[in-house]
Structure 1
Amino acid sequence: MRLKRVVPVVVSLCCATASAEAPRDREVYITLGSDAAGTVRSSLRGGSAPTLVREANGVSVLKLAETQLSDVSSIMHDKYHRCAGFMAHDTQEEALAALTPAQPTQSLVSYTLDNAPVVNALFSGLQEASIRSTITQLSSYTNRYYNNSTGGTQAASYLQGIWAGYANGRSDVTVELYTHSSWTQPSVIATITGTVFPNEVVVIGGHLDSIQQYASSPSTALAPGADDDASGVATLSEVFRVAMAKGYKPARTVKFMAYAAEEVGLLGSKAIAQAHKAANVNVVGVLQLDMTNYRGSTVEVSLVTDNTNAAQNAFLGSLIDTYTGYSRANIACGYGCSDHAAWHAQGYPASMPFEARYDLGEENPNIHKASDTLANSTDGTNWGTANHALKFARIGAAYLAELGKGGLPGMPTDTVDPTVSLTAPASGATVIGTTNITATANDNVGVSRVEFLVNGAVKGTAFSSPYSYAWDSRTVANGTHTVAAKAYDSAGNTATSATHEVRVANVSTSGTYDSTYKTVRCSAAAATCDSGTLFNGRGTRGPELNTPNTLRGTCKDGSTGTYRSDESMEALKVSTVDGSNFAAGKQVKVEATVFAYLNPASDRLDLYYTANATATTPTWTLITSVVPTTANLHTISTTYTLPSGANQAVRAQFRYGNTAPTSACVSGEYNDRDDLMFTVQ
């Protein structure tokens, strides 16, 4: 039997008020790589061993005392060279939700290298001495522990002050302390509002806190953290300083962030990333700078490939090759190894360039120790400089200019509009089903994106040529509609194509309940058969009308749990891909709308078809079986080819238990089956 507890969580982008030092004996949850879970449970010192709550997709959930977080950090660093190597969560529900692989929350932008004048201008202002000065100041505190009311908060206040000084009162720049309610140290955020695309956000971050490994009292132990991560914060601080000194104005909004509480489970970055997602902020890219000033490898830069975005990693590699020529290698650093993982967990594209071959153990041996000082940092030859960090400042500046776009005072302004022409469908054309809207676009500098409009509303976006969008015309009513394309360049210049009028002529049918076959049926041959709301609910949960909505009333639904908390099959739709009527040999799309459990990885959707729905005992053929990746209400789709047969049906079986399907009627108290019957001509 499953017992569930729902805890409402409200997250806001507004800064909360910092509390006094949080209680240190409460239970918390962490997620970490399953490869490390056993070691943490057996090695943890002080208190009882953590409890294993659940494991899925190579990630484990452990329950432990908050006082044990610093020890977990030390174990992860000592045994696995990961920092922090886990994520901390206040509730079991939040931790279980983290078991699900992240899904992107936004469209990727167009990655182009066309802002070299800004990159080179920023490069000219970067100074090793300035980075070194910031590292020196940040590492001068006894420690920057997240729950330390002195060093942790003093470092944040210092950083806010120098960033505010760099901004020098610019009206488009804000510098603030982002306070957290559960611990003392605030994060620091500097925001430059974009001039062209202010709702598209670029984040450059590093973590402000430090920790000493296995310290009996982390809040008082000596932890200068010069490399981990005063170096990363000083690196991004230098990029911000030069951007302000040069008068840089980005096209996209850019946020520089120094996160609190990374060492105890990415707490600061997780809170900020979750707040951005809750507010539907379109974060188009995240760069993490964690340890930049110790060259322990022959290569100069190591790019983290796990818990990062492959497309943005390729873009970052191109930046490094084009603007710096630094040697580089790819590495894996494990689950939750730095703050980029917190953004990745929310579906945002994140990347992390690192100082050394982390996977080979070539990183700074002094981190998490009293010996992590500037004197023990090296560029491979010289000690006590910020030469290696300067390389990462150049990478950060290139990333800023090429993803943030924009320009500098005195630079030529791009005032030339792009050109765009709609190439399909032709004006006056009749369209059915899914049809491609295509366009050509050009610009004197470069096209950043092309939007496709139906009746004046944006329906799709393409970021690179050939510009195309697959429009399902069945989403609009039959009749005359307009289509057009709109092109943008990185300076915000736009152009819209001539409008084409097209005639939509789809044949669509909504199903009705058939008392003979005891489920929803579309009795006339058409292009679509849709259950509408007739399948909503599961058995007595909801309740579901005409339950169980399976052919001849076979295969009863489970009736345990709560509607819209536990599993249910909510709607089913079948439609031909080309928009013509159902016929043997036609490819059809099946769309099943389900309500998945909080941990969707524990569920499974099985889709079947039968070619003879009128048979007393229909034969069911499996189309596909899918484990959901998203909790709550969402739609899962697949395609198959219609066989011969005048009366056909599809079955959606949504069930608790992600084992492979054994039949089209798996019994279970949370399981729901619905059959949709339709006519094939």
Structure 2
Amino acid sequence: MHMKRLASLVLMLGCVSAFAKASEREVWITLGSDALSEVNAAFIVAGAKVPSLAGQKGDVVALKLPESEINRVSRVMHDKLNRCGGFVYHDTEAEALAAIASVGQTQLSPLAVTYTLDNGPVVNTLLGSMTEANILANITHLSSYATRYYTSATGVQAANWLKGLWEGYAGARAQTGGDVTVQLFTHAAWAQPSVILTITGTETPSEIVVVGGHLDSTSSSGNAPGADDDASGIATLTEVIRVAMANGYHPAKTVKFMAYAAEEVGLRGSKEIADQHKNQGANVIGALQLDMTNFKGSTIDVALMTDFTNAAQNTFITSLISAYVPGVQAANSTCGYACSDHASWTNAGFAASIPFEALMGQHNNLIHTSSDTLAKSNNTATHALKFAKVAGAYVAELAKGTANLADSEPPTVSLTAPSDGATVSGSVTLSATAADNTGIGRVEFLVDGNVVGTATASPYSASWNSAAVANGSHTVVAKAYDLIGNTANSTSITVTSSNASSNAIYDTVLRVPRCSNVGNVCDSTTLLNGRAGLGPELHAPNTINNSCADGLSGAYHADESNDRIRVSTVSGAPFAAGQTVRVEATVWVFAIRPDKLDLYYTANANSPVWTKIATVAPVATGQQTLTATYTLPAGTLQAVRARFRYNGSAAPCGTTSYDDHDDIVFAVSP
């Protein structure tokens, strides 16, 4: 009797177990194929069924697995690959397959965005009010929760606390009838809500600017304070909110600040929100992601990720840094598939960017552990303050608008040298006088609209190398900035440059060596010698607009570098369309077989599209001069790029640790 009952019980439990397994919800994820082997290995080691492959396109795969196994994938991405996020969660197979089908083909929303820098007084009002102490205090509070995991009670508490903080900053503007709303965006599938503060635009409220970061944290080793990942990002954008409210900022376009839930488990919170905006036909003209801002792991300050982001907006952000955050250095990097919430906006068809705390691989190595605390950043928020200023400038210049300015009176400025109508050559001294009721911040000297020198103290003067422009007539203007960013221009003068040289001069606008006068030779001489701070190379990376970063590994003249580019016509005639030119690149070779030189040209250096000339292999180690020829196309300002690489395949811009990319720009007869 007992045996029969036991057998029946075993049979019943088996049925229950089978029923539970059969009814367990299955979901899909997409992730980079480079992570697939690590994910499969983790399932095999755990004795679990390996996720089934639902589809693949290029470097992205779609996998099917039980929903309960999502955390296992999350742990692999964090523990083995040190990635924040790294995959996207999907409810259906059709959605996952559509996601991989659209990789590289995402169409941006049809609204054309014109990026301009003309709201300086508002930008500087906001940036001048920012403090490191406020950011530090908010990182401290957010990282005091044992975890902000998306299913945890403390994750919900953190969201509620943040909502209250933002409401406090907004004050009366968040009350009934005000232009600010602070809301919890609830997600049906988990406990933690996202938090959204909206400032309605005064002129074109249908155009939306988004600034976001993720609120959740995770760890595979106990507590998850997540001070850097991503309390730092939330505290950074919170400082933008604080100063916007304190200075009475009213954007012309609608601005939404977002703290996303559930980023660490497949970008789930941001995906729901971005998809909702897409489905509602919202005009999101730009999205900025702040994910990890407080650990300075690189010599550069801000790494702009070029994958799954919008190139035009990235260039805009670079311009913002140059104009409003002096001393902060930016460079490009890559972070892989779905590495943070910007990918949700990109996948929904909107322009997105992510300025990151360091070059990928040099970022905080304690994220996703119980040691992700402020101690890793020396218990300060100094680095995060730089990102708050970048985000503040982004909001005030993309959404435009007004604020309560401390000073609205513009300065006065007069250009005193050279004289109008002068003929100049070589180095020319530019001088001006300037005055303002509160003080002069700087005076810029512009030639043909391009800044060629800046002075921050009287007497205001700068040296201009007139050989950096083509011979002929040029317009010179002095532009004065007061301490808050009000500006005034001097009366312009006209000078005539007269120079002849075959040696390139560093161009501060294109950020590469340039021969501005038409000749038959253009030579970088010593300007390119070295790579990425390894050696004497000035102005690295010396690619047009810093568009392609160099590899950081190795040592000067022990490992790969491109040291010189010389372009010359074979006939000896001046550069002109149809002329055959010889490109000579002087390189330092580490190893004969894996080292290769890729040469490219573009007919328009201001908007380069690179065409391959040749791949040339060295024949010996050490210093080598490698050559190739091509025919000049039509175009008055052209460029050549040399990429010297260790292994890899030919491409205008590579990502390996020993890549050296250099450009040279030269004038061509029309």
- TM category (shorter chain) comes to 0.5 to 0.7
- Residue 240 of structure 1, CA deviation: 0.5
Out of 401-410 and 229-238, give the one that drifted further.
401-410
* Corresponding residue for residue 112 of structure 1: 116
Q: Give the Cα separation in 2 of the matches to 1:106 and 1:242.
A: 32
Q: Give the Cα separation in 1 of the matches to 2:405 and 2:150.
A: 43
* Corresponding residue for residue 174 of structure 1: 181
One-letter code of the match for 2:357?
E
User: Could you list the runs of 5+ residues in structure 2 that have no partner in the other structure?
Assistant: 1-21, 410-670
* Corresponding residue for residue 212 of structure 2: 205
- Residue 368 of structure 1, CA deviation: 0.3
Q: Give the Cα separation in 2 of the matches to 1:127 and 1:192.
A: 22
Alignment check: 8 A CA contact 1:70 1:263 kept: no
2:337 matches 1:328: no
Alignment check: 8 A CA contact 2:125 2:405 kept: no
**TM score, norm. by length of structure 2:** 0.55
- Residue 24 of structure 1, CA deviation: 12
DSSP 3-state at the match of 1:169: helix
What is the correspondence of 1:143-158 to structure 2 with a 5 Å cutoff? 143-148=147-152, 150-158=153-161
Q: Give the Cα separation in 2 of the matches to 1:413 and 1:256.
A: 28
Alignment check: 8 A CA contact 1:250 1:407 kept: yes
What is the correspondence of 1:92-107 to structure 2 with a 5 Å cutoff? 92-99=93-100, 100-101=102-103, 102-107=106-111
2:369 matches 1:374: no
Alignment check: 8 A CA contact 2:79 2:368 kept: no
Cα separation, partners in 2 of 1:200 and 1:411, compared to 1, 3 Å? farther
Could you give the per-residue CA deviations for residues 583-609 of structure 1, whole angstroms, max 9, x where no partner exists?
Answer: xxxxxxxxxxxxxxxxxxxxxxxxxxx
2:128 matches 1:124: yes
Q: Give the Cα separation in 1 of the matches to 2:293 and 2:265.
A: 20
* Corresponding residue for residue 318 of structure 1: 319
Could you give the per-residue CA deviations for residues 194-215 of structure 1, whole angstroms, max 9, x where no partner exists?
Answer: 00110000000000000003x5
What is the correspondence of 1:162-241 to structure 2 with a 5 Å cutoff? 162-170=165-173, 171-213=178-220, 215=221, 221-241=222-242
Cα separation, partners in 2 of 1:25 and 1:385, compared to 1, 3 Å? farther
What is the correspondence of 1:240-259 to structure 2 with a 5 Å cutoff? 240-259=241-260
* Corresponding residue for residue 142 of structure 1: 146
Alignment check: 8 A CA contact 1:106 1:284 kept: no
Out of 84-93 and 29-38, give the one that drifted further.
29-38
Instruction: Give RMSD over aligned pairs.
Output: 1.8
* Corresponding residue for residue 162 of structure 2: 159
Alignment check: 8 A CA contact 1:106 1:348 kept: no
- Residue 321 of structure 1, CA deviation: 1.2
Equivalent position to 1:405, from 391, 400, 404 = 400
One-letter code of the match for 1:122?
L
Q: Give the Cα separation in 2 of the matches to 1:411 and 1:251.
A: 20
What is the correspondence of 1:395-544 to structure 2 with a 5 Å cutoff? 395-409=390-404
Q: Give the Cα separation in 2 of the matches to 1:51 and 1:399.
A: 42
Alignment check: 8 A CA contact 1:250 1:404 kept: yes
Alignment check: 8 A CA contact 1:51 1:62 kept: yes
Cα separation, partners in 2 of 1:24 and 1:166, compared to 1, 3 Å? farther
- Residue 329 of structure 1, CA deviation: 1.3
2:327 matches 1:308: no
Could you give the per-residue CA deviations for residues 392-424 of structure 1, whole angstroms, max 9, x where no partner exists?
Answer: 00001000110010011358999xxxxxxxxxx
Q: Give the Cα separation in 2 of the matches to 1:79 and 1:376.
A: 20
Q: Give the Cα separation in 2 of the matches to 1:410 and 1:328.
A: 29
Cα separation, partners in 2 of 1:261 and 1:24, compared to 1, 3 Å? farther
DSSP 3-state at the match of 1:298: coil
Equivalent position to 1:390, from 366, 385, 392 = 385
Q: How many residue pairs are counted as aligned between the two chains?
A: 378
Q: Give the Cα separation in 1 of the matches to 2:108 and 2:403.
A: 32
One-letter code of the match for 2:363?
E
- Residue 103 of structure 1, CA deviation: 1.2
2:338 matches 1:343: no
Q: Give the Cα separation in 2 of the matches to 1:25 and 1:261.
A: 21
Q: Give the Cα separation in 2 of the matches to 1:24 and 1:256.
A: 39
* Corresponding residue for residue 365 of structure 1: 365
Alignment check: 8 A CA contact 2:143 2:227 kept: yes
Q: Give the Cα separation in 2 of the matches to 1:137 and 1:27.
A: 37
* Corresponding residue for residue 36 of structure 1: 35
Cα separation, partners in 2 of 1:242 and 1:75, compared to 1, 3 Å? same
Out of 192-201 and 105-114, give the one that drifted further.
105-114
Q: Give the Cα separation in 2 of the matches to 1:250 and 1:24.
A: 50
User: Could you list the runs of 5+ residues in structure 1 that have no partner in the other structure?
Assistant: 1-22, 216-220, 378-382, 415-681
Alignment check: 8 A CA contact 2:82 2:365 kept: no
Alignment check: 8 A CA contact 2:185 2:196 kept: yes
Q: Give the Cα separation in 2 of the matches to 1:157 and 1:144.
A: 12
One-letter code of the match for 1:238?
E
Cα separation, partners in 2 of 1:169 and 1:249, compared to 1, 3 Å? same
Cα separation, partners in 2 of 1:158 and 1:247, compared to 1, 3 Å? same
Q: Give the Cα separation in 2 of the matches to 1:69 and 1:322.
A: 43
Q: Give the Cα separation in 1 of the matches to 2:232 and 2:24.
A: 32
- Residue 345 of structure 1, CA deviation: 0.3
Q: Give the Cα separation in 2 of the matches to 1:413 and 1:125.
A: 17
Alignment check: 8 A CA contact 1:106 1:283 kept: no
2:91 matches 1:90: yes
Out of 121-130 and 43-52, give the one that drifted further.
43-52
Could you give the per-residue CA deviations for residues 193-249 of structure 1, whole angstroms, max 9, x where no partner exists?
Answer: 000110000000000000003x5xxxxx31000000000000000100110010000
Alignment check: 8 A CA contact 1:296 1:357 kept: yes
- Residue 190 of structure 1, CA deviation: 0.1
Alignment check: 8 A CA contact 2:121 2:405 kept: no
Q: Give the Cα separation in 2 of the matches to 1:89 and 1:268.
A: 12
**Identity across the alignment (%):** 57
- Residue 175 of structure 1, CA deviation: 0.2
